[in-house]
Amino acid sequence: MGAVLGVNIDHVATVRQARYAKNSSSINVEPDPVEAALAAERGGAIGITAHLRQDRRHVVDHDIFRLKEAIGTKLNLEMGNSPEIVAIALKVLPADVCLVPESREEVTTEGGLDCIAHRAALESTLKAMRDAGIRVSLFIDPEPGQIEAAASLEAPVVELHTGAYAEASGVARDAELARLIAAARLASEAGIQVNAGHGLNYVNVKPILALPKLVELNIGHSIVSRSLFVGMEQAAREMAALLA
């Protein structure tokens, strides 16, 4: 068993924005998220994930367009379900979009999307993406109700939120892993592709491979952190080897 690796390059852009937030599209601005994405591909990534937030705190619009043109694998655009970002996605036409909840107060994405409460808004976005040939993934907590809602929305993919698992230890971690396994089984039985991500690193990722029918893991912070010491290509290669 194994899974393929998608690399999230958001935090490469975070470092860039720390110095160049006012002129991030100028020449000679570093580090370049596109260069990081290409290195991650050389290391074995089968896709590049980037989150275009409404507040543009890291990845910005021109990053998304440049990534779409430059990478050789697939672009997975992580995004909140806002009209502005939906419109950009329909211009960029990434292979995948992953719909996530978004709050300006959060440091990073916290918790999964509530597909039950936001069903009507999600339904129209899924239709627009489907009509444009874009595959939609819903980033959800590993809860039966959310899986059922994703199935009723005819979402082709769910990305199970592994944050609670990543933050737990001992018996609590075992319980979270069991919850993820049950959710993955339920999703696969409903004909939905199972992806997962959030908080995964080189230490805690191996048990996640026990998820039934797991296809793809999207990992960012840990790989970007490791790349400071070994480079992005090697950091991605090490993670891809763990998943294989």
Which amino acids are annotated catalytic?
51, 78, 198
Q: Quote the CA–CA distance of 165 and 98 in Å, as a whole number.
A: 20
Q: In a 3-state reduction of DSSP, which class is residue 152?
A: helix
Are residues 153 and 133 in contact, defined by beta-carbon separation less than 8 angstroms? no
Q: Quote the CA–CA distance of 223 and 94 in Å, as a whole number.
A: 22
Q: In a 3-state reduction of DSSP, which class is residue 226?
A: helix
Give, as one character, the DSSP assignment of residue 211: S
Q: Quote the CA–CA distance of 168 and 177 in Å, as a whole number.
A: 10
Q: Quote the CA–CA distance of 125 and 98 in Å, as a whole number.
A: 11
Q: Quote the CA–CA distance of 140 and 118 in Å, as a whole number.
A: 12
Torsion over CA: 182, 184, 188, 190 (sign): positive
Q: Residue 217 corresponds to which tokens in the numbers above?
A: 């893991």
